[in-house]
């Protein structure tokens, strides 16, 4: 197959790497791609990376057999619909189905309608009513999470420390801190527990879970600091026991499949359920309609079977034929970020050294936000590189990934030093 991947981040680099290893892949193209992806795929410079009609035309006129959409923005903009209209199979849900990520209010109402366990919530389109709700909830002794309704690049969720923090978050949303994403606000009860990420392939008839993982959203060690798009991940997540996975299958994945069927949503892609493991069982924090980042950089390196086969059969309604094979060795990935992340603005153009040395130690280095300048890699985004390493045990994988990333540096680089430490606590207990 000639396969086109849309996107440019670490997630798309991981997807491209696994597709490149798949025997079905004949030609691999990525738009817009990145300097790292360009080492394994064609990245045509003459096709705008966010012009979905132009990309659909490119796919139709360049012999593309299959398209994989990485990020949420093109899915919410309807890129899958445009490309499917050209007669090309697409891995990724329709624009209507992508509302499950594009609108938190839509997603929460979907969960409520189909009995999927989640936090209690209320939605507001003006600051006065939202502030009144915040005060009423805190008067009753309840803590809240404030969420911008729309897409905010993983930064529109504020876990409030107290009443004043929640009120400030509401004001920030309605004052435009998250652009149009904050024009509507969802206020949720704070769920207490441990998070896990569950990916599942969906073709409208069948739903199949992938290996579990856990993301680290907070910027700093010990889960301190602001929320980010993710500072590291590991797979599998020991908190997801066989019993818990069976419960997620019954209470989340199967009702999700029933819901998209009842709503007649064209869903041929991946659903990502962010799960909070509470004392009352698993509850869904959010749905994403694509692979998570950086969890993908920990999950896909463990896949031994063909990713191209799995995604293509999902896109063409044949998921029931897919048999996934996973390496039992855990994988840990660590995000290396620019020092200004996540608040910004990012100071770009710092020369990155040590990538080859890390790869020589057996690590896989995914490019999340790099550029080429005078023949050298430089930083150009908040999250810049994601370093992944597998080993026979989670302890060994942690040690190996940190040893491997040690040679990498650029001015004002930051990273967390406690990725996957939670897994050790579960294994010790």
Residue 180's pLDDT is 92
Residue 225's pLDDT is 92
How far is Cα 191 from Cα 363, in angstroms, rounded to an integer? 35
Domain 126-183: give its CATH code: 3.30.1490
Pairing state of beta strands 370-373 and 376-379? antiparallel
294 prior amide bond cis, ω within 30: yes
How far are the Cα atoms of 16, 125, 133, 307 from residue 166, in angstroms, in the given order? 40, 16, 10, 42
Residue 139's pLDDT is 96
Residue 152's pLDDT is 82
Residue 16's pLDDT is 98
Residue 57's pLDDT is 97
Residue 156's pLDDT is 85
Cα-flanking dihedrals φ and ψ of residue 46, to 5°? -95, 5
- 283 forms bridges with which residues in the sheet? 276
Q: For helices 421-428 and 394-405, what crossing angle results, to 10°?
A: 160
What does the domain layout of the chain look like in residue ranges? Answer: 2-90, 126-183, 194-321, 331-428
236 prior amide bond cis, ω within 30: yes
Q: Which fold has domain 331-428?
A: 3.90.600
Nearest Cα to Cα of residue 66 among 33, 123, 19, 104: 19
Domain 2-90: give its CATH code: 3.40.50.20
Establish whether domains 126-183 and 331-428 are of one fold.
no
Question: CATH says 194-321 is which class?
Answer: alpha beta
Beta strands in 48-113 (DSSP E): 66-69, 90-91
Which residues of the chain carry a pLDDT beneath 70?
Answer: 154, 429
Residue 82's pLDDT is 98
Question: pTM of this prediction?
Answer: 0.96
How far is Cα 385 from Cα 374, in angstroms, rounded to an integer? 19
Tokens 């069927």 -> residue: 261
Nearest Cα to Cα of residue 378 among 368, 388, 386, 370: 370
């Amino acid at each position: 197959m000639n396969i086109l991947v849309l996107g440019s981040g670490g997630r798309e680099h991981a997807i491209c790497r696994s597709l490149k290893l798949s025997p079905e892949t004949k030609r691999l193209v990525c738009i817009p791609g990145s300097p790292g992806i360009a080492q394994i795929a064609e990245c045509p410079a003459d096709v705008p990376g966010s012009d979905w009609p132009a990309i659909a035309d490119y796919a139709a006129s360049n012999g593309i057999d299959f398209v994989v959409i990485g990020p949420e923005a093109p899915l919410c903009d309807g890129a899958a619909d445009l490309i499917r209209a050209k007669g090309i199979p697409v891995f990724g849900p329709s624009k209507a189905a992508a509302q499950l990520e594009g609108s938190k209010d839509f997603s929460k109402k979907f969960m409520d309608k189909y009995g999927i366990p989640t936090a209690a919530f209320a939605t507001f389109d003006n600051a006065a009513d939202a502030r009144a709700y915040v005060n009423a909830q805190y008067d009753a002794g309840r803590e809240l999470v404030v969420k911008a309704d729309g897409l905010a690049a993983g930064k529109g969720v504020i876990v409030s420390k107290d009443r004043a923090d929640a009120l400030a978050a509401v004001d920030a949303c309605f004052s435009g801190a998250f652009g149009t994403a904050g024009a509507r606000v969802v206020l949720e009860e704070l769920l207490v527990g441990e998070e896990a990420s569950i990916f599942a392939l969906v073709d409208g008839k069948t739903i199949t879970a992938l290996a579990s993982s856990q993301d680290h959203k907070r910027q700093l060690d010990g889960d301190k600091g602001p929320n980010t798009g993710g500072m590291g991940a590991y797979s599998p997540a020991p908190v997801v026991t066989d019993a818990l996975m069976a419960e997620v299958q019954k209470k989340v994945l199967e009702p999700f499949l029933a819901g998209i069927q009842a709503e007649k949503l064209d869903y041929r892609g991946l659903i990502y359920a962010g799960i909070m493991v509470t004392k009352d069982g698993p509850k869904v924090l959010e749905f994403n309609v694509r692979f998570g980042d950086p969890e993908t950089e920990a999950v896909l390196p463990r896949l031994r079977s063909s990713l191209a086969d799995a995604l293509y059969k999902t896109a063409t309604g044949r998921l029931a034929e897919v048999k996934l094979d996973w390496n039992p060795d855990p994988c840990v990935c660590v995000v290396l970020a620019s020092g200004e992340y996540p608040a910004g603005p990012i100071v770009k153009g710092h020369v990155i050294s040590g990538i080859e040395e890390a790869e020589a130690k057996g690590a896989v280095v995914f490019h999340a936000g790099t550029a080429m300048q005078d023949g050298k890699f430089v930083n150009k985004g908040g999250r810049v590189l994601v370093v992944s390493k597998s080993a026979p045990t989670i302890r060994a994988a942690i040690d190996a990934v940190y040893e491997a990333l040690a040679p990498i540096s650029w001015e004002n680089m930051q990273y967390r030093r406690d990725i996957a430490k939670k897994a050790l606590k579960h294994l010790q207990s």
